[in-house]
Amino acid sequence: MEVEKLPLAGALMLTPHAFIDERGFFKETYSLERYRAYGITESFVQDNVSLSHRDVLRGLHGDLRMAKLVSVVRGSVFDVIVDARTMSRSCGQWWGATLTAADGRQIYVPPGFLHGFLALEDETIFAYKQSAAYDPATEIAIAWNDSELGIAWPLEDRRPILSRRDAANPTLASLHRA
């Protein structure tokens, strides 16, 4: 497995190796021992899968207690993480990359980060592991288009398809003032 440290402290890009032959491929997407060797020590307690159409934008969501391990099963996304940890030197900074089912890359999202993605294809299937059970009382969320963050979503002139809740999310600055 290839592991790359991302510019936001604690976040990682992981690329599991695929074993490919005439039948297709086999890939180990998670191994407790292997991932712990790379510093991912959380125990994952919940797995989630979403299906999204092109231009669906989900996020930006997070939980101060929860780490995530995210990947694309089918299709492609522009994936974004934002450091929301007030004591971090990279607080308020974002990083993004295109993830595809074909490249098999994963992003480790540490606790205290916000996460979101834009589906780049119809019928995109996105999977993620969580280190804590979902609890709406501890979830935090910010606006996908927070002008202070300036995330460069690859939308060209299109508008994203948002949930009502995501369309009403506050800015990161207002979240930190609360």
Active site residues: 61, 128
Closest CA to 61 of 177, 145, 169: 169
Residue 69 near residue 30 (C-beta atoms within 8 A): yes
Nearest to 102 by CA among 120, 128, 80, 81: 120
Residue 36 — left, alpha, or beta (φ > 0 → left; ψ -120 to 50 → alpha)?
Answer: alpha
Q: How far apart are CA 42 and CA 50, in angstroms?
A: 22
* Three-class DSSP category at 132: coil
Tokens 């074909």 -> residue:
102
Phi first, then psi: what are they for 151, rounded to 5°? -65, 130
CA atoms within 13 A on the CB side of 111: 13
